[in-house]
């Protein structure tokens, strides 16, 4: 861990959402300790993107099995730093939180996370996929997200992606801005050629005048005698209307963890 102290308000936020999902949590200096024994830690760090107060980068670092540190980051946008921070927290809750909840803290909420078991020459893995989180100023119909077919391709290619027997996190991001496409395919915060190839192989033909983006976060954990998660349920804190039964279009509407709560905790 670095020496950077955790923002205590972000620590309060983490403790709140973990307790709301039935997981013991307490703040301990620069981290939040998770579980009854507090043996694993997690933290959120917020920084401004350069001098632009309208952009806030929120990074999550979490201890995984064997002490490996798993990280991801989202960027929030708002009229000022406070609103951008709340937007980043909403993205974190919609994209990352439930995946980490399942793979690190034992609670699989099936309306939020898709669980797959994959086998490689290095052994079996529990892989947890969050829902696609989309943002747009143009109609989404002009640039649909890669969807369930892409997730199936990642599962099929897992033997080529999961080559080191430890926990891994992946982030997929694709955006169209006035028909210009941006691709990002990361494994453990580093570009991954296999994931990038899978993403670029998706037939995307945007007809966008404006901006549309889609983001996917996943976690792979080595599987031993049984599943990594120990509890299965559904999330009562989130309303997630679906377009279909697939992993497509989980539009997250935060209820208990709302923008109002984020504002209150960040003041």
Three-state SS at 4: coil
Domain boundaries, the chain: 8-266
What pTM does this model have? 0.85
Distance CA(245)–CA(90), nearest Å, equals 23
- Structure tokens given for 36: 């009854």
pLDDT in tens, 192-244: 999 999 999 988 766 667 788 899 999 999 998 899 999 999 987 543 333 32
Counting DSSP H helices and E strands in the chain, the numbers are 7, 16
Calculate what percentage of the chain has a pLDDT beyond 90. Answer: 57
pLDDT in tens, 67-95: 999 999 999 888 888 888 888 999 999 99
Q: Smallest Cα–Cα separation from 72: which of 261, 231, 218, 196?
A: 218
pLDDT at 206: 66
């Amino acid at each position: 861990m670095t020496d950077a102290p955790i923002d205590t308000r972000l620590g309060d936020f983490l403790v709140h959402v973990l307790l709301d999902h039935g997981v013991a949590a307490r703040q301990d200096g620069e981290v939040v300790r998770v579980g009854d024994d507090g043996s694993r830690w997690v933290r959120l760090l917020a920084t401004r993107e350069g001098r632009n107060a309208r952009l806030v980068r929120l990074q999550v670092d979490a201890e995984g099995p064997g002490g490996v540190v798993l990280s991801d980051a989202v960027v929030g946008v708002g009229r000022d730093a406070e609103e951008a921070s709340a937007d980043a927290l909403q993205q974190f809750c919609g994209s990352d939180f439930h995946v980490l909840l399942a793979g690190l803290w034992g609670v699989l909420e099936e309306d939020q996370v898709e669980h797959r078991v994959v086998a490689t020459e290095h052994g079996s893995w529990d892989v947890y996929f969050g829902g696609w989180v989309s943002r747009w100023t143009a109609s989404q119909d002009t640039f649909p997200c890669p969807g369930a077919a892409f997730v199936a391709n990642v599962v099929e290619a897992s033997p080529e992606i999961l080559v080191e027997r430890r926990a891994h996190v992946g982030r997929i991001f694709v955006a169209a801005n006035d028909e210009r496409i941006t691709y990002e395919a990361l494994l453990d915060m580093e570009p991954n050629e296999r994931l990038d190839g899978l993403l670029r192989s998706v037939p995307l033909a945007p007809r966008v005048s404006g901006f549309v983006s889609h983001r996917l976060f996943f976690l792979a954990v080595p599987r031993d005698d049984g599943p990594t998660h120990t509890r299965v349920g559904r999330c009562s804190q989130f309303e997630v209307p679906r377009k279909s039964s697939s992993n497509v279009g989980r539009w997250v509407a935060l209820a208990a963890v709302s923008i109002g709560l984020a504002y209150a905790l960040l003041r």
